[in-house]
Amino acid sequence: MTPNRLAAAVVAALLVAAGCGSDSGESGAEASGTAISASTDVIEATTSDADCPPAGGTDAQTRQFDAPPPECLDPAATYEAVVTTNLGEFAIAIDPETAPVAANNFVFLARNQYFDATVCHRIIPNFVVQCGDPTATGTGGPGYRIADEPPTVPYQIGSIAMAKAQAPDSAGSQFFIITGSDGASLPPEYALFGQVVDGFDTTVMAMAGAGSPDGTPSEPIEIQSVRIVQS
């Protein structure tokens, strides 16, 4: 397979079957016939207010929401996400300038403990590690969708972007980490909201080592927690 055909194939793999992000909440579930439900050890909760979570995070985990989050980021602050996995830690510098909606959404979900105790359900070598779905099916989401923010800067190895379905404005909670040149050559359709700044060569590449051509991880890759550091 030529490099161009390989890139096209992996892009297709990212989009099909409610994949790289049919994480649009209810619409993704309806498309696949799979109900969205939290695991039994998670506090079942739905929020109907517009409150931003505290900077230190909430006491209870919430995984379903009635509406997209309000604007919770301080424009004068900087944000970093420290992601702890079963293979180690890595850090993400959040970029609200390139994708303000996606950046705000990620911080909101992380502070609600949304990503804690989830697995990365799709890992494709030289392409991406995809995470952020509590159902581990590729169809899960937070119950709402956010607007597309096509980037005006190129993807890089280590970039963090929102997964989405083929439909416009279909991103929710699923995100991916670009781990190779195939991922860096993706078309500018996925909101680019951060960059791995620490732990890429160790933790992220160890995660990428569990990849397979069809994207099914060869071993469980778990996000144990995501903590936001604001400064």
User: Which tens digits make up the pLDDT trace of 104-163?
Assistant: 999 999 999 999 999 999 999 999 999 999 999 999 999 999 999 999 999 999 999 999
The whole-model pTM stands at: 0.83
* Burial (CB count within 10 angstroms: exposed 0-12, middle 13-18, buried 19+), residue 131: buried
Q: Quick one: pLDDT at residue 29?
A: 28
Note whether residue 68 is domain-resident: no
Note whether residue 52 is domain-resident: no
- Separation of alpha carbons 1 and 5, rounded Å: 6
Note whether residue 53 is domain-resident: no
* DSSP tag of 197: E
Note whether residue 112 is domain-resident: yes
Note whether residue 58 is domain-resident: no
* Residue position matching structure tokens 């079942």: 44
- Separation of alpha carbons 207 and 47, rounded Å: 32
User: Two tokens at 116?
Assistant: 């804690």
Q: Which residue has the higher pLDDT, 198 or 40?
A: 198
pLDDT confidence tier of residue 50, bands split at 50, 70 and 90: low
Note whether residue 51 is domain-resident: no
Structural domain range at position 101 = 3-37+77-230
Let me know the angle formed at the C-alpha of 65 by 60 and 66, rounded to the nearest 5 degrees. 145
pLDDT confidence tier of residue 64, bands split at 50, 70 and 90: very high
In CATH, what number is assigned to the domain containing residue 26?
A: 2.40.100.10
Q: Quick one: pLDDT at residue 217?
A: 98
Note whether residue 198 is domain-resident: yes
Note whether residue 119 is domain-resident: yes
Backbone angles phi, psi at 222, to 5 degrees: -110, 135
pLDDT in tens, 77-104: 999 999 999 999 999 999 999 999 999 9
The total of structural domains in the chain comes to 1
